[in-house]
């Protein structure tokens, strides 16, 4: 097992180095202009410049902090609402019949399609941005929770009933633990969906945030700043996903065991 993990880590490192090597090679040949593909050196210089002097009146940490604040608030709202509603919908077909049509209707819609409606209803301040991120993250968590409950074997529930367990006890001691793997799958998916929606959320009346920084820099053909922002967002997304996986490992400690 250790040997296999060592090989996988080695392949990951080689892949990352290959991507950076390809990037450096393409820019070193001069076949592409800096506007299309900036060199790693220019992206690094832009990072140092923005980290030191900021961008459009805000420091790099302020841009990153603003985006993370929006993301975390919406994500926590998803956790406290989508998880219980999804579990209850999987357990109770009547609740599922009420919520599922709504979720299935808006889930495939592009975020920008209903963002304009949210702006009309809630204005251009933070509330519409948080609502957009919330809706983007709600659907995957809800669907995975419902799926997790439905896939639970009837033998588990019937066994608890024969031992005299009430519906409440069955829900908290049988259904909830058995569905936790799917719950965390939904939480990880929701984080990725919310992060990709962050750029859309910061398109309207925003003056700070990593998504806004990337959009604003693209308007002025600052590809070096765009690449820098995308790389920072990617690294931040990986770290956030690692945090969720760490929590999952601690909570669902039986995952993968027979």
Residue 198 inside a domain? The answer is yes
Q: How confident is the model over 210-249, as pLDDT tens digits?
A: 989 998 999 888 999 999 999 999 999 999 999 999 998 8
Residues 150-195 have pLDDT tens digits of 988 778 777 888 888 887 888 888 888 888 999 999 999 999 999 8
Measured CA to CA, the distance from residue 213 to residue 58 in angstroms comes to: 10
The pTM is what? 0.85
Is 97 within the bounds of a domain? yes
Indicate whether 127 and 4 sit together in one domain.
Answer: no
pLDDT of the residue at 1: 43
If one counts the domains in the chain, the total is 2
* 26 assigned to some structural domain: yes
Residues 48 and 86 grouped into a single domain: yes
Domain for residue 258, yes or no? no
Q: Is residue 201 situated within a structural domain?
A: yes
> What per-residue confidence (pLDDT) applies to 175?
85
**Whether residue 207 sits in one domain with residue 95:** yes
Q: Which domain holds residue 20?
A: 1-32
CATH for 222: 1.10.3720.10
């Amino acid at each position: 097992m250790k040997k296999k993990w060592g090989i996988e880590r080695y392949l990951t490192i080689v892949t990352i180095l290959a991507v950076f090597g390809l990037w450096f090679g393409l820019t070193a040949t001069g076949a592409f202009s800096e506007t299309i593909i900036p060199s790693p050196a220019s992206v690094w210089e832009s990072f140092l410049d923005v980290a030191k002097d900021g961008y459009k009146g805000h420091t790099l940490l302020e841009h990153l902090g603003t985006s993370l604040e929006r993301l975390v608030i919406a994500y926590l709202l998803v956790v406290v609402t989508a998880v219980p509603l999804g579990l209850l919908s999987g357990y109770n077909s009547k609740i599922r019949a009420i919520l599922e049509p709504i979720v299935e209707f808006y889930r495939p819609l592009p975020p920008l399609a209903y963002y304009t409606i949210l702006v009309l209803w809630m204005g251009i301040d933070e509330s519409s941005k948080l609502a957009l991120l919330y809706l983007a993250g709600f659907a995957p968590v809800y669907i995975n929770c419902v799926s997790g409950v439905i896939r639970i074997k009837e033998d588990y529930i019937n066994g608890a009933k024969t031992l005299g367990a009430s519906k409440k006890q069955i829900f908290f001691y049988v259904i909830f633990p058995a569905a936790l793997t799917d719950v965390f799958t939904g939480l990880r998916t929701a984080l990725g969906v919310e992060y990709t929606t962050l750029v859309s959320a910061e398109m309207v009346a925003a003056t700070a945030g990593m998504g806004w920084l990337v959009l604003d820099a693209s308007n002025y053909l600052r590809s070096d700043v765009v690449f820098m922002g995308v790389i920072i967002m990617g690294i931040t997304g990986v770290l956030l996903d690692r945090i969720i996986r760490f929590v999952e490992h601690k909570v669902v400690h039986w995952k993968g065991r027979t």
